[in-house]
Amino acid sequence: MTDVIPAHLLPLLEDPNYAYLGTIRPDNTVQVNPMWFLFDGETLRFTHTTKRAKYRNLQHNPSMSLAIIDPENPFHYLEVRGRLIEVVPDPEGDFYVTLGKRYGNPDQKAPADKADRVVLVMSVERSTTQ
């Protein structure tokens, strides 16, 4: 992965940092929202539902971009570009619970909308940094 992500910036993906996920709306404007995520060394994974705009955006255009600001130095950042490569059903909200625990809530429970939950899997194709 260091051919796409510089090794010194991998901790930004490995640590539970908040990131901003950008998708393209059907009207070709950009939607950006803060997101929990998990990097598995190859792909990025997000919890979401099939009922929200971001999911519809990705059905229209699978392009995605994730930006993370270095919490130790806000002048440094990592942007990862890729596309939606898989949607994994998560009807029990298990991945939501996993991410909630990763982000500091050891008692995280499945959300009320768990029946509509999916895991969005993003490829890692390019990156930019500063």
pLDDT at 1: 55
For 37, the token pair is 């995520």
pLDDT tens, 11-24? 999 999 999 999 99
**What domains are defined for the chain?**
7-129 (2.30.110.10)
pLDDT at 3: 84
- pLDDT (average), residues 44-57: 97
Distances (CA, A) of 64 to 8, 28, 36, 101, 113: 23, 13, 15, 25, 24
Q: Are 45 and 95 in contact (CB under 8 A)?
A: yes
pLDDT tens, 69-115? 999 999 999 999 999 999 999 999 999 999 999 999 999 999 999 99
Give residues with Cβ within 8 angstroms of 33, minimum separation 6.
Answer: 20, 21, 54
Distances (CA, A) of 115 to 57, 58, 92, 94: 20, 19, 6, 11
pTM of the predicted model, to two decimals?
A: 0.94
